[in-house]
Chain A
């Protein structure tokens, strides 16, 4: 047990020191996340429509959290490819579940930091008062969504194992597709009819739907000064779907990752670095 805890800590230790050494880039990425989110949210402010502003703010905030989580996990393997250390990680006597748990925990911390920066920043750009929003409920939804998104991150992490050159590109295509079909800044009904069925398979669709209700977006009682957030019971359907998705995607992601690792060891794909 002690050894397992140390192994989990190893990935957080590594992540912390890499972040420390690349602190300049970390600041740039967070700055970029903030200004792009502010730029989107200001569309609502310019239109003087609090409901639109709130919808855009929720989209920007959640997308920053979920995409950061997904990206950190999926790209952790790409970083190892580029550094050439993946073979040493795979050669260590650490189970893949512990490896990916350690990576996911550090990614989660990173995502929370980015989300807090974006949330605080966005409050400076809008006149929305979040009083009345069901924030504890939002945290519950995010916690449940996290499991599914960690699973998606594991799925996407197989791409860099398969190909150091094309792998990172594939993870971003997958991420972009999620952004498109999940209705981050718009309702999924806005999508062309042929694309709408895909939104059903994205966990972000349910996270956004639940959070909009909990923030009070779309509620006739919500105003810029006071939001009318729904109770948690109003999003039980979304929570159930997210929990089911997490229960399926996370173990499946781990399974797929392990299968691809075995395939890479058979075909010699681990050897190359990007």
Chain B
């Protein structure tokens, strides 16, 4: 039987927040979450801001250490084999973090060197990826600060893919993009999945995106995975006609309502 590419069991992560003089409160960001992603599968985690999606991705990216639980990515467990895990993952976060004064080329060559790659070969690979993402070569030498949010996000995707990772962790990669850029990114991910068989864990707010890209979807609310299945299964189980309605029925929450909660919640992680 085939082993899952990503296996998460009983994962738990809480953050402590100062609430007054010598007073602290605990906030549970990830609450006993278990799921798995099979090799070549695109798995979607759907939830409002503050539901624990980013914390989960950050644990899998070795940037956050869980309080308890079991995490395995391919043959490596976290946090013990974090060095090995770093070699097999690519991550795209909602904010495209770059040296904004540097050009796309300089930023990407820096990443290639950081991963011990040959810069010239990496450059060829990146140009191919950017071409597939619908980006002109001329933009390659443009400083990131002069690029639109959509273009920056495409560079961010190229950065994650240039190391050719078998696992891709995408944390709201299309949030804030214009419809054209969003469609470019989605088509690219579909193509990548079918061509390379890359295993993708995708977090999003966007129900249509989840339905289009993901084989299976998990609904996250208040750090808990409350439901899981294919889009059709989730709609059937909830008796809803759309994935949006299924989310509301199964979690008892609306995505928009959570936006405000998210700001406070994000602050608690510090």
Chain A residues within 8 Å of B, Cβ to Cβ: 2-4, 6-7, 9-10, 13-14, 17-18, 21-22, 83-85, 87-95, 262, 265-273
Are A4 and B270 closer than 8 Å at their CB atoms? no
Are A18 and B61 closer than 8 Å at their CB atoms? no
Given contacts A3-B116, A265-B65, contact A14 B58 (CB under 8 A): no
Binary CB contact string for chain B from 140 to 168 against chain A (1 if under 8 A, 0 otherwise) = 00010000000000000001000000000
Among residues of A, the one whose C-beta sits closest to the C-beta of B110 is A14
Among residues of A, the one whose C-beta sits closest to the C-beta of B59 is A265
Are A92 and B115 closer than 8 Å at their CB atoms? yes
Among residues of A, the one whose C-beta sits closest to the C-beta of B14 is A268
Are B113 and A88 closer than 8 Å at their CB atoms? no
Given contacts A85-B98, A85-B99, A93-B115, contact A268 B83 (CB under 8 A): no
Among residues of B, the one whose C-beta sits closest to the C-beta of A21 is B101
Are B101 and A271 closer than 8 Å at their CB atoms? no
Are B113 and A6 closer than 8 Å at their CB atoms? yes
Q: How far is the CB of A66 from chain B (nearest CB, A)?
A: 27
Assembly CA distance A14 to B103 (angstroms): 11
Given contacts A13-B110, A84-B95, A93-B87, contact A268 B269 (CB under 8 A): yes
Assembly CA distance A237 to B86 (angstroms): 46
Contact with B114, one of A92, A271, A273 (Cβ below 8 angstroms): A92
B115-132: which residues lie under 8 A (CB-CB) from chain A?
115-119
Assembly CA distance A272 to B97 (angstroms): 12
What are the residues of chain B within 8 A of A21 when measuring CB–CB?
Answer: 101-102, 143
Assembly CA distance A268 to B64 (angstroms): 6
- Most chain B CB inside 10 Å of its own CB: which residue of A17, A18, A94, A273: A17
Are A90 and B16 closer than 8 Å at their CB atoms? no
Are A22 and B63 closer than 8 Å at their CB atoms? no
Contact with A91, one of B63, B65, B99 (Cβ below 8 angstroms): B63
Given contacts A4-B116, A13-B113, A84-B97, contact A91 B270 (CB under 8 A): no
Q: Does B222 contact A (CB under 8 A)?
A: no
Question: What class of interface size applies to chain B in its complex with A?
Answer: 35 or more
Assembly CA distance A93 to B111 (angstroms): 11
Are B97 and A83 closer than 8 Å at their CB atoms? yes
Q: How far is the CB of B249 from chain A (nearest CB, A)?
A: 32
Q: Does B100 contact A (CB under 8 A)?
A: yes
Given contacts A93-B83, A271-B58, A271-B270, contact A17 B113 (CB under 8 A): no
- Most chain B CB inside 10 Å of its own CB: which residue of A21, A87, A90, A93: A93
What are the residues of chain A within 8 A of B116 when measuring CB–CB?
Answer: 2-4, 6-7, 93-94
Q: Does B106 contact A (CB under 8 A)?
A: yes
Q: Does B214 contact A (CB under 8 A)?
A: no
Q: Does B62 contact A (CB under 8 A)?
A: yes
What are the residues of chain A within 8 A of B100 when measuring CB–CB?
Answer: 83
Assembly CA distance A209 to B112 (angstroms): 44
What are the residues of chain A within 8 A of B115 when measuring CB–CB?
Answer: 7, 92-94
Are A13 and B58 closer than 8 Å at their CB atoms? no
- Most chain B CB inside 10 Å of its own CB: which residue of A9, A266, A268, A273: A268
Q: Does B15 contact A (CB under 8 A)?
A: yes
Are B65 and A266 closer than 8 Å at their CB atoms? yes
Contact with A93, one of B15, B86, B101, B113 (Cβ below 8 angstroms): B86
List 27 A-B pairs, Cβ < 8 Å: A6-B116, A7-B115, A7-B116, A10-B110, A13-B113, A14-B102, A17-B99, A17-B106, A17-B110, A18-B102, A21-B143, A83-B97, A83-B99, A87-B97, A88-B159, A91-B86, A91-B91, A92-B115, A93-B116, A265-B63, A267-B270, A268-B15, A268-B55, A271-B266, A271-B269, A272-B270, A273-B97
Q: Does B201 contact A (CB under 8 A)?
A: no
Among residues of A, the one whose C-beta sits closest to the C-beta of B113 is A10
Q: How far is the CB of A29 from chain B (nearest CB, A)?
A: 16
User: Top 7 nearest A-B pairs by Cβ distance?
Assistant: A3-B116, A10-B113, A84-B97, A268-B269, A21-B101, A93-B86, A92-B114
What are the residues of chain A within 8 A of B87 when measuring CB–CB?
Answer: 93
Q: How far is the CB of B177 from chain A (nearest CB, A)?
A: 18
What are the residues of chain B within 8 A of A88 when measuring CB–CB?
Answer: 97, 111, 159
Assembly CA distance A273 to B89 (angstroms): 23
Among residues of B, the one whose C-beta sits closest to the C-beta of A4 is B116
Contact with B16, one of A7, A13, A85, A267 (Cβ below 8 angstroms): A267
Are A18 and B101 closer than 8 Å at their CB atoms? yes
Assembly CA distance A22 to B58 (angstroms): 32
What are the residues of chain A within 8 A of B270 when measuring CB–CB?
Answer: 267-269, 271-272
Q: Does B109 contact A (CB under 8 A)?
A: yes
Given A3-B116, A7-B113, A13-B106, 4 further pairs, Cβ under 8 A: A85-B98, A93-B83, A272-B270, A273-B97
What are the residues of chain A within 8 A of B111 when measuring CB–CB?
Answer: 88, 92
Are A91 and B61 closer than 8 Å at their CB atoms? yes
